[in-house]
Amino acid sequence: MKSPISNRNIVFMSTSLPRECGIATFTQDLLDQFEHMRGFNKPRIIAINNKETYQYGDQVFREIDQHKLSDYIDTADFLNKSDVDLLVIQHEFGIYGGESGEYLIPFAEKLKIPFIVIFHTVLTKPSLKQQQIITRLAELSVKVVTMAQSTVNDLISIYGIEAKKISFIHHGVPYVKTESRSKLKEQYGFANRKILSTFGFLSPGKGIEYSIEAMRGVVQQHPDCLYIIWGKTHPVVKQETGEVYRQKLMDLVKEFNLEHNVIFVDKLLTQEEVIQSLVMSDIYMTPYLGKDQAVSGTLAYGVGYGRVIVSTPYRYAEEMLAEGRGLLANFRDSASLETCILQLLDSPDLVIEMERRTLELGKTMLWSEIAKTYAVMFQEKISISELANRSVV
């Protein structure tokens, strides 16, 4: 029997860096916090692989071929015989094998150790298969986590999950010390300009074309404005359609004569560059097209650093920008985006107040704070599991 004061062994099942994936970044950020957390050994990752080959760091101690069911079964057997106290499954549609990722079900059914599921996407209109997977994973787990308050009711009403099994924990945001906004603008060569920005993988669902079109009217009144689109094309999009979307956006910039006011930074940003891009921004933009998007890591980062945000009213944005933390424009409506941007540029006092309100929430979303919530949950669920096992014996 383990000593009650021994450190806990946590394993994450997820994609892992250097794979270019938001889930991989999320997992790494959370893992990094636990390296310094009392009561835990250094966490490890079971990496879910697609068809690419990755040079993983020492955090990865086992790999699963996404499309190979036997890998899932073998891994469940391995975990059952290991010293792992708790498994944390990062769930996102598209990273696990089988229809809608159904290979997770026989894996979870075979597990004898407790596991928690973090749902990164909660669909309001799931297919029957998607609904069955979420429901079954939740049923077998000791806890499920969602990162938006609005999805708690969905997990209860659509997926039949018990309310007491669900925890709402904000998407974490890394802390990176940077220079001030004005110094960063000088450093990047953007002194004396109003910076609007968007960061993240480029894909057609981001709606950036509407922000570019909105800039036509904005620059007529504020010619010093610069809209920076940070990030490379999403790896899956690039594989399927190449740079079609980026080229379409670049063609729009040329068509509208906005070369002086819209630029692209086509690279995978480091964590430091992401935060610098936010800190130097006067307005952060998420003009996304999908109204059911329950969580956005990029918007979470924007809130975490107290940016003034203009967004379309997808679910996560409505929740995060409530109480005067930003402005919501209509979907697929460049004129509406333009109105919001101009309102902010013409109202410095409003901007100051919005930044204050946003930062108030943002401070609670730093990974150092979020990880503490996870740590308490992990310890509690491990202890309950140990008590249950002892009572059975």
Distances (CA, A) of 9 to 5, 312, 319, 383: 12, 41, 34, 13
Q: What is the mean pLDDT of residues 36-59?
A: 94
Angle between helices 334-345 and 348-362 (to 10 degrees): 100
Q: Tokens in use for 270?
A: 């480091």
Domains along the sequence of the chain with CATH:
10-172+366-392 (3.40.50.2000), 181-365 (3.40.50.2000)
Q: Could you give the 3-state DSSP secondary structure of residue 269? A: coil
pLDDT tens digits, one per residue of 287-304: 999 998 889 999 999 999
Q: Tokens in use for 45?
A: 């990752």
Distance CA 15, CA 289 (A): 26
**Number of neighbouring beta carbons within 10 Å of residue 271:** 13
pLDDT tens digits, one per residue of 63-84: 999 999 999 999 999 999 999 9
Q: With 80 as the cut, is the pLDDT of residue 347 above it?
A: yes
Q: What is the pLDDT of residue 51?
A: 85
Distance CA 26, CA 242 (A): 26
pLDDT tens digits, one per residue of 121-178: 999 999 999 999 999 999 999 999 999 999 999 999 999 999 999 999 999 999 999 9
Q: Could you give the 3-state DSSP secondary structure of residue 331? A: coil
Percent of the chain at pLDDT exceeding 90: 93
Q: What is the mean pLDDT of residues 361-385?
A: 96
Q: Tokens in use for 173?
A: 């945001």
Q: How confident is the model at residue 6 (pLDDT cuts 50, 70, 90)?
A: confident
Distance CA 111, CA 73 (A): 9
Distance CA 282, CA 144 (A): 36
